[in-house]
Chain A
């Protein structure tokens, strides 16, 4: 049996594909490349044609869009899918998002829509529902069938991240959304138009269900325009190569890519079992109150990814993950696969095909009913994609990086912060009474890389979503958020993680609220790891990435200051001016991580501190010349050079230098202190064990974390064995 078999539905066709892959280990059982061997060059040429089709779709399609994320930063992706939905070629851009296309198409087939209502040339299909495989509501997926003389050849698909999804809390990724009924405009698998034209109700729905209808319609038109271009080009290709060749060749290419990746996975990484857990706090307590009582609490979510690299396969084990619950951090498969591919492509991609064949090299253990595999269809999902990132581009990327390093490919050790986006949402009413809502994506566009095993982290040199880093232009962003007058976009002195090599220098984005009109509020989403660190492990003795914060400075004297052309130009200056009384305020609020909506008025300052990524190695081993450079670039202050690196700093005409001898002595002192302040492992073990037995583990959410994790048999045994507790111990 192969793909030529007559199937009564796509559902059964997909089942056949899956069975054959499991049996043979090859995609559709293709163990030799008939077309490739027959004529390698024709094969290569065919592939080049498909790639140029999806590239062209993106290049030209993006100009239709309205959101700066799409046009300015290229935050969109187009892909060509096989009949079963495997993406065999995707454009540049949001490359990770192509991984979710197959999941949505699988839902489409699962729902039997190919049979009833069925689909024909000119239909437009849409879905942004994580339950059906979309990363989250902000990532809208549009696709069209490619039908050549009655034969379904595949699908043209496009995804982009829209500016406003119409949730209870405005923005693209609402920071509060306990259930699907308040998280925004989720549409299930939907036919939005026929004959290349949207239904009128579909465009109207955007205007009625979101706060940026016209912008969202333009983005939708952009996605459709690109899909249409892919479809028409592939039809030409069928004409030229023949439909049989086209379909078979797409399959061979997928198997070809799968096999190539398998080879890399065998040759490049240190096989072994990697533990890369992280924590995700969620804070709802007191925010929903009696409104949604089941969600009136805080969580510390446990994401205990165990990542095993074997002989050409990777296993993701989420045993011990927290339970699904009434918050927005429940992760579906679409979100996970999206996040995985974000980190997978940069390492394992070769040639020019951006594809999803890698999924056939992966195994997943996702306990049902956990945040890693929700069974309750109503729990919130806006951060499904974000959790995918934190597991894929976060945890997995760190394991891969260490695995490449362990195998000797030191040059490939590379991490950056997948999770700490801070895309902030906002809404308000202008002075003329016009209501509006928007979100800003620019901090995602250019984050900082962490330290590598051989060098320091960078500045604006990596992006969570798009290999082609780009934070766009403030002058563009300001046009969609008029009350936010951008006064600072720069790096933050001392905001980095220290080590032999230090992580990238953090980022400050600050605004003065300027004539907000009748009402204005902002909220921070996707700013993860509040009150914890970005990951649990710091590499080789450095610390993991520091969290993320916003500072709200309310009722200030800015209106007077700016009359003289004065305002603070850096976070350090903000703090200094407040200390000196030059900048006055009634409230100075520091918030770590996601923030609920906060109303702001003219003259208030809204300041975001984002992106600090782990270092590498022991700070005591850091070369002095590196510290001097950091000082002279104002990346770190002399005080920190002393405190963290025990560097004895002197200045000669404005240039910082470090005293080698004095520093060496000071570092010896540090080592002595370490001896003094540390205990033996067994002493430590006994002490912490006591705390466990006494349940002295901290706030309520930590208790819940342990309860739920230990309830999982696998993780529970691991826990009990580590602390030498009886088999029947439960927390």
Chain B
């Protein structure tokens, strides 16, 4: 099959694999993979694109020449942190707070496993990203406002003027120390950046006087939100990694353009926005990997198939990531942990638990305790391949779910015999069980963990599973989704043929936009007069105006003129006194009337009551708006979702690959095997079946079936006239 007209190229690079999703004007698509090359990502980029192109019988040149956009989400930021190869950073911090560089808010446990988190002795601080001697004190204080509304100084009031001598001294010392970049983070600058801006001007003068070219960044431009430690970390990440990341991406861009690609390379930010690599706050590109799938699910399910409540779940080698869309929208949280640091950067909400087929199995003989992970075999699969310990992957293999000859399309051969022996010795015997029963039970355990995560992510936020459709993807998602489908009552369960590169697909579907936020301190209580409420709301309007200006400037840099930019508005709201806020849309762009105010309050109350029991409401104390948010969009070409003509219910002859024994419910069952790429729209595959693909496997137990719809989405359903078998137990 060949490519029709222009195409969209999207890549998602994970720790081990770099996936490509390639889609043409008619919505025909293909996917490709390569091993990620952290040292030079342009290599794995080209490899992966070639791999995808080849399945259309094309070269990467031909693809690049026809590419309207190429988007790459890389691992360069993570590498920059892990290999500690960022820039030498100098910081001006409020005098008395310099030690935050190594005190680190006491967050010594981030990124550790549950057991480690409870085990205080093992905690430690992440390796510092800057020399503590390059943190220079500067006198001056702004106040951030108070919980006791109207009782003390307004937010942003200057309590201690800026000590400009300190600034001069600090900057000179940093320049002598030959830093590459200077960051400025002062207490409460989120409420009023006047000190930071003044300090920046002084610094830039000194830099100029010395005839040097050292950038100077202020925290208010990078992350204007309350919380000095997280704001500092955000600024530090920007200073330390952003330019390195940009360089790495520019390198990829150069290769792509040398290969015939005509446009700027694009990348994705942690909150799902696509930007081109000139975007200033590039540190926001952190951890964008796992969220690609969320965007894909949103675009496919919500935007194309008009299913508004969706759970998106990605089962990879190590983790089971679950996110969801309520009424077609994704939720954002305003802080995120990355590489053991806590930053003040908005990210798409994604709950991640230990899961995945790479997980190592631990058996406690005496107490028959079975633990999954936290260690993972990653791409070493298990004892059947290159990993020393038994894993879920080993169980999948000996139970017949995995085809040892067809793993990664046969590129890798798996040793079934050895896996069987290891599982018997290390698990079945200690548990005093039959090895196949034991393996099946382990999958049972995995499935219920996965199912619980789906259930919890919904219920804990107040949503009802039966209203939600599960979209399951990732290399191993389709193989295990049947386990989840049996355990959670959901509206529907689906996957797609390109599940293995779904994150890359998501990247292709994402919007091009920027997100801006700034802390405000607006309070509306019952005691207040309407006039006073409106008076307060003015702060929101001015903030939004400032943010709009920022947006226009940034887009200018990226080559988009004012008229191309579309704005959306949101706020972070809470009851007065609460310390956490919930993000809700502001139906109106400016808040000028009491009705406008009520419309904001209503969207807050609607969300809050969806989450908490009535007893948790507290309108008597009034409402606080803590942040104004601006979302600025420009147009972006999205992939067409192709409609295929519906064909016969029975799959074609050549699609059928034969049969193999699969262990199910305590006995061996003959499963039909099918070739995924040859399935047609309209086909129905009845269980017991396994649909094989070079990069993934769909498992269909006897009581289930799959319907392929006109978009080639695979719907996982109960098979009429069948009942779920009860497990037969052999005597031990």
Q: Using a CB–CB distance below 8 Å, which chain A residues touch chain B? A: 33, 36-37, 39-45, 48-49, 52, 55-57, 59-60, 62-68, 70-72, 92, 95, 124, 193, 196-198, 214-215, 217-218, 221-222, 224-225, 228-229, 233, 256, 259-260, 263, 345-346, 349-352, 354, 411-412, 414, 416, 430-432, 434, 436, 445-446, 449, 452, 458-463, 467-476, 478-480, 482-483, 485-491, 510, 514-515, 517, 562-570, 633
B164 shortest CB reach to chain A, Å: 7
**Cα distance A41–B120 when bound, in Å?**
30
Q: Which chain A residue shows the least CB distance to B344?
A: A473
Given the known interface contacts A49-B452, A352-B114, A432-B150, the answer about A66 and B98 at a Cβ–Cβ threshold of 8 Å is: no
**Known contacts A41-B370, A446-B105, A490-B97; is-contact A66 B578 (Cβ 8 Å):** yes
CA distance A678 to B121 in the complex (A): 37
Beyond the given A229-B459, A260-B367, could you list 12 further A-B residue pairs with CB under 8 A, ordered by the A residue number? A49-B452, A124-B615, A197-B614, A349-B119, A461-B120, A463-B120, A473-B229, A473-B230, A474-B228, A489-B103, A490-B96, A514-B159
Cβ–Cβ < 8 Å partners of B336 in chain A: none
Contacts of B114 in A (CB 8 A): 352
| A–B complex contacts, Cβ < 8 Å, 9 sampled | A215-B147, A218-B578, A263-B366, A462-B120, A476-B579, A478-B188, A487-B96, A564-B163, A569-B95
- A488 CA to B99 CA in the complex, in Å? 9
Contacts of B146 in A (CB 8 A): 478-480, 482
**Whose C-beta in chain A lies nearest to the C-beta of B161?**
A565
Other-chain contact of B141, A42, A65, A483, A487 (Cβ < 8 Å)? A487
Query: Are A475 and B226 within 8 A (Cβ)?
Result: yes
Given the complex, which residues of A lie within 8 Å of B368, measured CB to CB? 33, 36-37, 40, 43
Q: Which of B292-300, B440-448, B706-714 contacts A (4 or more CB under 8 A)?
A: B440-448
A479 contacts B118, C-beta separation under 8 Å: no
Contact at A225–B615, with CB atoms within 8 Å?
yes
- In this complex, the member of A45, A70, A217, A515 whose beta carbon has the largest number of chain B beta carbons within 10 angstroms is A45
- Min CB distance, A476 to chain B, in Å? 7
How many angstroms from the CA of A214 to the CA of B105 in the assembled complex?
Answer: 28
Q: Which of B117, B124, B165 contacts A461 (CB 8 A)?
A: B124
Q: Measured between C-beta atoms, what is the minimum distance from B2 to chain A in Å?
A: 49
- Given the complex of chains A and B, what is the CA–CA distance between A490 and B445 in angstroms? 47
Interface residues of chain B, those whose CB is within 8 Å of chain A, are 95-100, 102-109, 114-115, 117-121, 123-125, 132, 137, 139-141, 143-148, 150-153, 159-166, 187-188, 190, 226-230, 366-371, 431, 433, 441-442, 444-445, 448-449, 452-453, 456, 459-461, 575-580, 582, 611-616, 618, 621
Say whether A412 contacts B121, CB under 8 Å: yes
A459 touches B119 (CB 8 A): no
**Does B367 contact A470, Cβ atoms closer than 8 Å?**
no
Set A214, A260, A470, A472: member contacting B577, Cβ < 8 A = A214
A459 pairs with B121, CB closer than 8 A? no
Closest to A510 in B: B96
Compute how far the CA of A510 lies from the CA of B445 in the bound complex, rounded to whole angstroms: 52
- Determine the distance from Cα of A198 to Cα of B150 in the docked complex, in whole angstroms: 29
Verify B460–A562 contact, CB threshold 8 A.
no
Chain A residues in 8 Å Cβ range of B575: 218
Known contacts A470-B105, A478-B144, A485-B159; decide if A567 and B139 are in contact (CB<8 Å): yes
| B615 near A228: Cβ-Cβ < 8 Å | yes
Contact among B137, B228, B445, B456 for A473, CB-based, below 8 A? B228
Contact check, A351 vs B369: say whether CB atoms are below 8 A apart: yes
- Chain B residue numbers with a CB within 8 Å of A65 are 578-579
Decide if A48 touches B448 in the complex (CB within 8 Å).
yes
Query: Please, how many angstroms separate the alpha-carbon atoms of A695 and B141 in the complex?
Result: 55
Among candidates B119, B228, B230, B460, residue contacting A229 with C-beta atoms closer than 8 Å: B460
Closest chain A residue, CB of each to CB of B363: A40
Assembled-state Cα–Cα distance A49/B452 (Å): 7
Contact residue among B137, B153, B370 (Cβ-Cβ distance under 8 Å from A44): B370
**How far apart are the CA atoms of A449 and B124 in the complex, in Å?**
11
Which residue of chain A lies nearest to B447 when distances are taken between CB atoms in the complex?
A45
B100 surroundings in chain A (CB, below 8 A):
489
Q: Which residues of A contact B159 (CB under 8 A)?
A: 485, 514, 562
B106 contacts which of A62, A92, A225, A460 (Cβ < 8 Å)? A460
CA distance A565 to B141 in the complex (A): 8
Distance in angstroms from A65 CB to nearest chain B CB is 7
* A65 and B123 alpha carbons, distance in the complex (Å): 27
- Give CA–CA (A479, B107) in the complex, Å: 22
Separation of A224 and B366 alpha carbons in the complex (Å): 38
Alpha-carbon distance between A570 and B109 when the two chains are bound, in angstroms:
28
Residues B140 and A565 in contact, CB atoms below 8 Å apart: yes
Instruction: Please name all residues of chain B whose beta carbon is closer than 8 Å to the beta carbon of A416 when the two chains form the complex.
Output: 120
Contacts of A198 in B (CB 8 A): 615
User: What is the bound-complex CA distance between A482 and B431, given in angstroms?
Assistant: 60
CA distance A217 to B366 in the complex (A): 47
Tell me whether A346 and B119 are in contact in the complex, defined as CB-CB below 8 angstroms, given that A218-B575, A224-B615 are known contacts: yes
Question: How far does the alpha carbon of A472 sit from the alpha carbon of B230 in the complex, in Å?
Answer: 10
Contacts of B187 in A (CB 8 A): 474-475, 486
Give min CB distance, B704 to chain A, whole Å: 20
Let me know if B106 and A60 touch, CB within 8 A.
no
The answer to whether A446 touches B103, judged by C-beta atoms less than 8 angstroms apart, is yes
A436 touches B109 (CB 8 A): no
Name which residue of chain B comes closest to A63, CB basis.
B580
Query: Which of B120, B139, B151, B162 counts the most chain A CB atoms within 10 A?
Result: B120
Task: Compute how far the CA of A431 lies from the CA of B152 in the bound complex, rounded to whole angstroms.
Answer: 8
Cβ A225 vs Cβ B613 within 8 A: yes
Complex Cα–Cα for A256 and B366 (A): 10
B148 touches A434 (CB 8 A): yes
Q: How far is the CA of A689 from the CA of B448 in the complex (A)?
A: 68
B621 touches A214 (CB 8 A): yes
Taking each of B121, B140, B163, which has the highest tally of chain A beta carbons within 10 Å of its own beta carbon? B121
A193–B123 contact, CB under 8 A?
no
B98 and A490 contact, CB distance less than 8 A: yes
Question: Which chain B residues lie closer than 8 Å to A488 at the CB level?
Answer: 96-97
Task: Give the residue of B145, B161, B371, B615 whose beta carbon is less than 8 angstroms from that of A479.
Answer: B145
- A52 and B367: CB pair below 8 A? no
Chain B residues with CB under 8 A of A482: 143, 146, 148, 151-153
**Nearest-CB residue, chain B, relative to A470:** B106
Minimum CB distance partner of A436 in chain B: B148
Contacts of B452 in A (CB 8 A): 48-49, 52
Query: Measured between C-beta atoms, what is the minimum distance from B520 to chain A in Å?
Result: 14
Is A567 a contact partner of B160 (Cβ separation < 8 A)?
Answer: yes
Cβ–Cβ contact B460 & A60, under 8 A: yes
Tell me how far the C-beta of A219 lies from the nearest C-beta in chain B, rounded to whole angstroms: 10
List the A residue with the shortest CB-CB distance to B138.
A565
Whole-angstrom CA separation of A45 from B450 in the bound complex: 11
Residues of B within 8 A of A570 (CB): 96
Query: Known: A60-B460, A490-B99. Contact between A467 and B105, CB under 8 A?
Result: no
* A460-B126 Cα distance, complex, nearest whole Å: 13
Chain A residues with CB under 8 A of B460:
56-57, 59-60, 229
| Cβ–Cβ contact B579 & A460, under 8 A | no
Interface centre among B125, B147, B230, B366 (most CB of A within 10 A): B147
Give CA–CA (A68, B118) in the complex, Å: 21
Residues of B within 8 A of A452 (CB): 121
Residues of B within 8 A of A215 (CB): 147, 577
**Beta-carbon nearest neighbor of A474 in chain B:** B228
CB of A567 within 8 A of CB of B106, answer: no
Cβ–Cβ contact B160 & A565, under 8 A:
yes
User: Chain A: which residue is nearest B119 at the CB level?
Assistant: A346
CB of A234 to closest CB in B, whole Å: 12
Question: Which residues of chain B are near A449, meaning CB under 8 Å?
Answer: 120
Complex CA distance for A416 and B99, rounded to whole angstroms: 21
A475 interface neighbour in B148, B227, B582, Cβ under 8 Å: B227
Task: Please name all residues of chain B whose beta carbon is closer than 8 Å to the beta carbon of A345 when the two chains form the complex.
Answer: 118
Give the residues in chain A near B115, CB-CB below 8 Å. Answer: 350-352
Partner among A56, A459, A487, A633 whose Cβ is within 8 Å of the Cβ of B459 = A56
Closest to B132 in A: A633
B108 touches A460 (CB 8 A): yes
A471 near B106 (CB under 8 angstroms)? yes
What residue in chain B is nearest A478 (Cβ atoms)?
A: B144
CB-based contact A566/B163 at 8 Å: yes
